[in-house]
Amino acid sequence: MKNFDSRTYSINDFLEWSDNGQLELNPRFQRRNVWTDTARSYLMDTIVRGKPIPKIFIRQKLNVQTRQSIREVVDGQQRLRTILSYLKDGFVISKKHHPIFDGLYFSQLDQVDENIQASILNYEISTDLLVNMPDAEILDIFGRLNSYSVTLNVQEKINANHFGPFKTLADRVAHTFNDFWIDSKILTDKEILRMADANLCADLLIAMIEGIKSKKQIKPFYSTYEMEFNYDPALLEEKFSSTIATIQGIFGNDIKGTEFKRIHVFYSLFTCIYHLKYGLSGIDKPTMNILEADYARIESRLGNINSIFAKEEAQQLNENEAQFLEDSRRATTDKPVRERRTKYLLDLILQ
């Protein structure tokens, strides 16, 4: 028998309950540390943009003396604390999350948008209402919910704990090229749902900024960039998009029929084309201004990669081809191997 009720409440409802003493943010059920300013800014940016946030769990009890319903938040406390703090001018949304509302308190938002305050107050939050439920049952509910949860992979854990401009850039670029990843068979729908696209884009963005690195360094760079990111996200996004556009110009819709659909080989294709266009730190090869007139020639030379994979006997390959095949078949993501693959592709194009 169902003993909970699913509803939606506006942010203004939660504000009224808080002001009237009918909302309890009970620390007994607190499950994570207090959020950073960056995390709080990211949440409010999500709300301002009209994106959904996770649901809230509330235990509703009746105070028989005051005859008031008391709503005790058992999950979602940090979200509500953040929202209520923002409504009371407790902090501002960061420029790295929303340049229009950068540095403005809630009471000042009408200076740039006369409708945004009402939009925030009317924003609806999905809520499960647990009526008069004892602690033991609430703990049982959360135990059951966690039983069905999929264990987070590395990238999902990274995204859950970072909210800075690099994270948002990697996510935005990944989502922009969703159709490209799928149509080219570089990633599957299921892989994208587990954030493989964000992982790939973060890996490529790190190469653009720092030069080719081991994939194992993605997590440390997220942490480094969370503290300080002195790069222009718009410029990086423009260069990333331009590189993908060049790859699409060279191959059209045919990547899925090549070995470049292998994610580790695609990484090397991207770093190769990016180096030709903009230069990569640590790669001592010439750059070039790639024109549309060059596309057919580049495609023809890169087409040799398929023939390398097609040759079953290593004896049929020269030393460099055999090394590239070994580096590619092992799917190694260590820095030296990645650099060798990239340089080999560059030599094919520049020869």
Low-confidence ranges of the chain (pLDDT < 50): none
Task: Kindly state the tokens that stand for 347.
Answer: 């030599």
What are the residue ranges spanned by the domains of the chain? Answer: 5-147, 154-350
Annotate the chain with three-state secondary structure: CCCCEEEEEEHHHHHHHHHCCCEEECHHHCCCCCCCHHHHHHHHHHHHCCCCCCCEEEEEEEECCCCEEEEEEEECHHHHHHHHHHHCCCCCCCCCCCCCCCCCCHHHHHHCCCCHHHHHHHCEEEEEEEECCCHHHHHHHHHHHHHCCCCCCHHHHHHHHCCCHHHHHHHHHHHHCHHHHHHCCCCCHHHHHCCHHHHHHHHHHHHHHHCCCCHHHHHHHHHHHHHCCCCCHHHHHHHHHHHHHHHHHHHCCCHHHCHHHCHHHHHHHHHHHHHHHHCCCCCCCCCCCCCHHHHHHHHHHHCHHHHHHHCCCHHHCCHHHHHHHHHHHCCCCCHHHHHHHHHHHHHHHHC
Q: What is the pLDDT of residue 178?
A: 94
Share of residues in the chain with pLDDT > 70 (%): 95
Q: What is the pLDDT of residue 148?
A: 72
Q: What is the pLDDT of residue 331?
A: 67
Which pTM value belongs to this model? Answer: 0.84
